[in-house]
Copies of this chain bind each other. A is one copy, B any other.
Amino acid sequence: MEGETLMTRAREMLDTHPGSAAMDTDALIECIDACFECAQTCTACADACLGEEMVEHMKRCITMCLNCSDVCVTTGRNVSRQTESEPAMVRAALQACAEACRLCGEECERHAREMNMEHCRVCAEACRRCEDACNRALSAV
């Protein structure tokens, strides 16, 4: 992650945790960070889609973004909890999150390409980053 700007204090918090992380620290931090970023971006994209004149065509994207945002908050928190963390539970959350981000990212990407929706383009990027981070964390957990 050299050169990358972290969005949360996840690294500081992990460095000051009384225990040692149950998994690879870099993959963990990147995943937490991507989850919280994607949670905000999806909330904002659902809202921007709702603000579009052609909201009628944005219904599927809104539902996707709302669901994806919830899954991202839950997963970001789940992965943040390192005290007596249960790998099977973290894995279940990571799998759901990777899948939610994949589906939401595809839908947003389609709107970005076909309808020139810039907020969907930004959201697709956040979704792809989070999908990748969840998949990397899955290999590490």
Interface residues of A (CB under 8 A from B): 5-10, 12-14, 16-19, 32, 36-37, 39-41, 43-48, 50-53, 55-56, 59-60, 62-64, 66-71, 73-74, 76-78, 80-86, 88-90, 92-93, 95-96, 99-100, 103-104, 117-119, 121-123, 125-126
Contacts and interface: CB of A to CB of B under 8 A. Distances in A.
Contacts of A40: 8-10, 13, 32, 36, 76-77, 80
A88 B103 contact: yes
Total copies of this chain within the assembly? 4
A89 B103 contact: yes
Contacts of A9: 37, 40-41, 44, 122, 125-126
A18 B89 contact: no
Given A8-B36, A13-B44, A16-B117, 10 more contacts: A19-B51, A36-B36, A40-B77, A44-B80, A44-B81, A67-B93, A70-B73, A71-B74, A71-B92, A89-B100
A83 B125 CA distance: 22
A107 B54 CA distance: 23
B59 A119 contact: no
Given A37-B8, A47-B82, A78-B70, A16 B118 contact: yes
User: Shortest 7 CB-CB distances between A and B: which pairs?
Assistant: A7-B7, A96-B96, A13-B44, A51-B83, A16-B118, A60-B84, A92-B99
Contact of A47 (B51, B83, B121): B83
